[in-house]
Amino acid sequence: MPRKFGEIAFTPEVLAAQEQRGSRQTYERYIANGSANDVITPKIEEFITQLDGFYLGTVSSNGYPYIQFRGGPAGFLKVLDEKTLGFADFTGNVQYLTVGNLSGNDKAFIFLMDYRHRKRIKIWGRSKYVEDDPALIEQLRMPGYPAEVERAILFHVEAISENCPQHIPIRYSVDEVEAMIAPLQARITQLEQQLSDRLTEL
């Protein structure tokens, strides 16, 4: 189990809950012997580049968490280095909750989910928005994607945890379903043509 994850997620209240329910010793051993898991490895980078969406969590000044889905073309969440993620902040509903929250508290959370392969990765860190760096914004822009980019958002990685697939349902996107059925549709078209040709011969 990743050590940095335990240092952040296992607050005194969580430790007390584990102690009361009998799991504290197990996790204490895992954390003590675990690796730091605080950098983006090539394997995790490959996983990230295939995703077309993720969940971003921030914290408001009144202490409430805020979770927002961020979507775009596959690969719009970019690995800038082993400790930094970045993405273009596209124009949305202009509520600016994420921007406002990050103005007061830079603690943030990224939840990556791949339903097709039943895999999820959780990333703790600190985030900031950047509005006055045209070069960075251009670096994060997705060629051919028409959405207007308002700013860049950078995420500094502090801890990463990969979860087991238990209870994750298998789901497919429209693009994935279309890719899977394309060979079947082509085969149906071929068989229909063969049948038509045979009927013509008769």
pLDDT for 1 equals: 57
Q: Are 152 and 133 in contact (CB under 8 A)?
A: yes
Co-location of 146 and 164 in the same domain: yes
Co-location of 121 and 143 in the same domain: yes
pLDDT for 93 equals: 85
> What CATH number did the domain enclosing 123 receive?
2.30.110.10
- The model's pLDDT over 106-147, given as tens digits with 9 standing for 90+, comes to 999 999 999 988 999 999 999 999 999 999 999 999 999 999
Q: Name the 3-class secondary structure at 1.
A: coil
Co-location of 14 and 53 in the same domain: no
Domain residue limits at 163: 38-170
Please state, in angstroms and rounded to a whole number, the distance separating the CA atoms of residues 59 and 67: 9
Q: What's the DSSP call for residue 23?
A: -
- The model's pLDDT over 24-53, given as tens digits with 9 standing for 90+, comes to 988 888 777 778 889 999 999 999 999 999
Closest CA to 3 of 32, 40, 23, 24: 32
Number of domains the chain is built from = 3
pLDDT at 175 over 80: yes
Co-location of 177 and 131 in the same domain: no
Question: What share of the chain in percent tops pLDDT 70?
Answer: 99
Q: Who's near 27: CB < 8 A, 6+ residues apart?
A: 1, 6, 10, 18
Co-location of 49 and 142 in the same domain: yes
pTM of the model: 0.85
Co-location of 104 and 125 in the same domain: yes
Co-location of 20 and 50 in the same domain: no
Co-location of 149 and 57 in the same domain: yes
Co-location of 59 and 31 in the same domain: no
Q: Name the 3-class secondary structure at 109.
A: strand
Co-location of 86 and 138 in the same domain: yes
Q: Who's near 177: CB < 8 A, 6+ residues apart?
A: none
